A = this chain, B = another copy of it.
C-alpha cells in the first residue's frame, strides 16, 4: 500500500469513526486530497475529484470539505487573492510562505515563533486557540548577499 493510499484510508477511518457515511463522492474527494501535495481551492478539487468520479458536484465538494474540516482531517486557508485553499491535516503543524508572484506555497515551521506567540497571548490574558502566520514573499533576484 502506498503512502497516499494509507493517507486516504486514514481519512476514511476518521470519517467512519464519526458516523459519517462514506459515499462514492466523498471517497473520490478523499483520494484527491490524499494525493495532493499542494494547496488547491474548491474548484480545483472539484475538477480533480471529477476525474476520479464523474458524479461529484461542486456543492458536494463544498459540503464535504466543511465536514472534513470539522473532523480536523483537513485545514482551510484563506491566502490573499482568491478563495479558500485546502490541504490534508496529517502533517505536523507548519506555517506558510506564499510567493506573491506565482502563488506557490512553501511550508515551514519555527518553534521559536510558535513559542513567542503563546507568550504574547498569555501576556494579554488569553490562551492561544490557533494562529495564522503567512509570509508573502518574492524570490530574491540573483544577488545573494
A interface residues, Cβ below 8 angstroms from B? 78, 80, 97, 99-100, 106, 108, 110, 112-113, 116-117, 120-140
Starting from the known contacts A110-B116, A132-B134, 8 additional A-B residue pairs (CB-CB under 8 Å) come to: A106-B124, A108-B123, A112-B112, A113-B113, A125-B139, A129-B136, A132-B133, A133-B134
A110 to B113, CA, bound (A): 10
A75 to B133, CA, bound (A): 17
- Give 9 A-B contacts (CB < 8 Å), ordered by A residue: A78-B80, A97-B121, A100-B129, A113-B113, A128-B136, A129-B136, A131-B133, A132-B132, A133-B133
A131→B128 contact, CB < 8 A: no
Known A-B contacts A126-B99, A127-B137, A140-B127; the reply to A120 vs B108 at CB < 8 A is yes
A97 to B97, CA, bound (A): 20
By Cβ-Cβ distance, the 5 closest A-B pairs, closest first, are A126-B137, A132-B134, A129-B136, A131-B135, A121-B137
In the bound complex, residues from chain B placing their C-beta under 8 Å from that of A139 are 125-127
A120→B132 contact, CB < 8 A: no
